[in-house]
Structure 1
Amino acid sequence: MDYQHIANTVADSLISYTKDESGWKVCKKSNDVIVSWRPSTEFPGNVYKGEGVVNGSPEKVWECLKPVPNGMRVKWDNNVKKFELLERVTEDVSVYRTVTPSAAMGIIAPRDFVDVILVKQYEDGTITSNATNVGHPNCPPQSGYVRGLNHPCGCICVPISAEPNKTQLFSFFQTDLGGLLPRSVVDSFFPSSMAEFYSNLAKAVRSLKDH
C-alpha cells in the first residue's frame, strides 16, 4: 500500500476544504470555535469543520495536537484514549491505531481507527496533520472495539502574521463511526465534541505557558 501517496492526497483535500467556502452550514458556535458541516463526498455522512483562534504560537498549539504515543494529546483530548504506532513509513508519514473511549453517555461504544498520518509543514509556518483510514496487517479488527473509519481529516495550525502568540486552527472531522448508531446521535456528537476539543486544547496550551 502506498501510504505516502494516500497521505499526500489527504493533505491536498484538507487545504481545498479550507479554501472552498460553498455549502458549509454553521451548527455550533462558542467562544472558542465555529463548527460547520456539509455532506461528505467521501462517504454517506458529513464532514465537519472547526475554525477558531487559539492563544498560543503554532509551535505550542502543535505540541498539544501532535499524534504521538504518550504525547500531550492523550492527556487533554477526551476522545483519544491512546495512539499506538504501527509503522513509521518515513520521517513525516506513520500508521497509527487510535483508541477512543465510549461516548454520548455510553451510546457510542469504544472505537478504534487505523490511519495513515502525514505531518506536513508549509513555508509560511503552517503545520498540519492529515489522516485517513488504511488497512494494516498488524492491526485486524479487535474484540471490544468497533472499527471506525476516518475519511480525510486533520488539523491545520496557521500562523497569524500580526500576532505571533495566536494561531488560527482549522480542524476537520469526517468519520464513519461504524456500528448501528442512530443518525441523530452521530449528528449531535460531532459538533459538541468539537467545541469541547477547542476549549480543552485552549486549556492545554495555557498549561504549557505556565511551565
Structure 2
Amino acid sequence: MRRRRTGWRSCFWATAETSPAGKAARKRYKGEGIVNGSPQKVWECLKPDPNGLRVKWDNNVKKFELLEQVSSDVTVCRTVTPSAAMGIISPRDFVDVILVKQYEDGTVTSNATHVNHPSCPPQPGYVRGFNHPCGCFCVPVPGEANKTKLISFFQTDLGGLLPRSVVDSFFPSSMTEFYSNLTKVVKSLK
C-alpha cells in the first residue's frame, strides 16, 4: 500500500492510498482536521438531507434526493454533482445507502456505500458514479466544547472514461476546498 500526502490547508491534511498490488487501482482519500464548532453544528452542515445546508455550501453537491427512509438511521439517497475540472468531468449522480449514528460522547458518524435502487436507474445527462465504503466522523475534542475533529474518507469511482491523471488531480484540491468551505459555513452559524 502506497501513501502520499496530497494537500495542506489550515490545519487540515489529506492522504491518498493506492490499493495493494493485485487489486483494482483505486485510491482511498482521507482528510482530517479540527473545525471550530460543536459536533452538532458541524453535523448540521454535513448531514445528507434534501433540505439541508450541504447543497448550499459544498461545491461538489448540487442536489440530494431521499429515495427511501429504511429506518430512523438508514436512508437511500441520490447525490447529484455538477460538472467539474472546467467541464472535463461531466455531472455525476451517486446512489448510496447511508447509515447515520450518534454516540453518547457526542460523536456523529455518516457511513455510505453504493447501492442499486429500483426507483433510481441511471439518468440521462449524468454519469453514474460509485462510492465504495466512505464516510465522515464528527468527534468532540476533549476539553474543547466548541471544537470538532472531522475525519472524512472516501474511495469513489467516478465512472465514465476519465484519464487517471484528471481524477488524481481533482480529488485533493476538491477535498481541500471542502474543508475550507465547511469551516466558513460553520463559523457563520449562530
The yes-or-no answer on 1:173 pairing with 2:173 is no
Equivalent position of 2:37 in the other structure:
56
Equivalent position of 2:85 in the other structure:
104
Q: Secondary structure at the match of 2:99?
A: strand
Alignment check: 8 A CA contact 1:81 1:98 kept:
yes
Q: 1:89 to 1:109 in 2, by over 3 A?
A: same
Equivalent position of 1:39 in the other structure:
18
Equivalent position of 1:76 in the other structure:
57
For the residues of structure 1 that align with 2:26 and 2:161, how far apart are their CA atoms? 14
Alpha-carbon deviation of 1:33? 1.2
Deviations 1:94-152 (A, max 9, x none): 00000000000000000000000000122322101101000000000011000000011
Equivalent position of 2:7 in the other structure:
28
Stretches of structure 2 lacking an aligned partner (at least 5 in a row): none
For the residues of structure 2 that align with 1:71 and 1:86, how far apart are their CA atoms? 15
Q: Secondary structure at the match of 2:161?
A: coil
Q: Which of 84, 98, 115 is the matching residue for 1:134?
A: 115
Alignment check: 8 A CA contact 2:96 2:131 kept:
yes
Q: State the Cα RMSD in Å.
A: 1.4
**Range moving further from structure 2, 127-136 or 24-33:** 24-33
TM normalised by structure 2 equals: 0.95
For the residues of structure 1 that align with 2:171 and 2:24, how far apart are their CA atoms? 16
Alpha-carbon deviation of 1:43? 4.8
The number of residues matched between the two structures is 188
Higher strand share: 2
Alignment check: 8 A CA contact 1:32 1:199 kept:
no
For the residues of structure 2 that align with 1:122 and 1:39, how far apart are their CA atoms? 31
Q: Which of 199, 206, 211 is the matching residue for 2:180?
A: 199
Alignment check: 8 A CA contact 2:60 2:81 kept:
yes
Q: Secondary structure at the match of 1:194?
A: helix
Equivalent position of 2:134 in the other structure:
153
Q: Secondary structure at the match of 2:189?
A: helix
Code of the aligned partner of 1:136: H
Code of the aligned partner of 2:34: V
Deviations 1:150-198 (A, max 9, x none): 0111110010011110000001121000000010110011110000000
Equivalent position of 1:10 in the other structure:
none
Equivalent position of 1:9 in the other structure:
none
Stretches of structure 1 lacking an aligned partner (at least 5 in a row): 1-21
Higher helix share: 1
Q: 1:46 to 1:169 in 2, by over 3 A?
A: same
For the residues of structure 2 that align with 1:40 and 1:141, how far apart are their CA atoms? 28
Alpha-carbon deviation of 1:207? 1.1
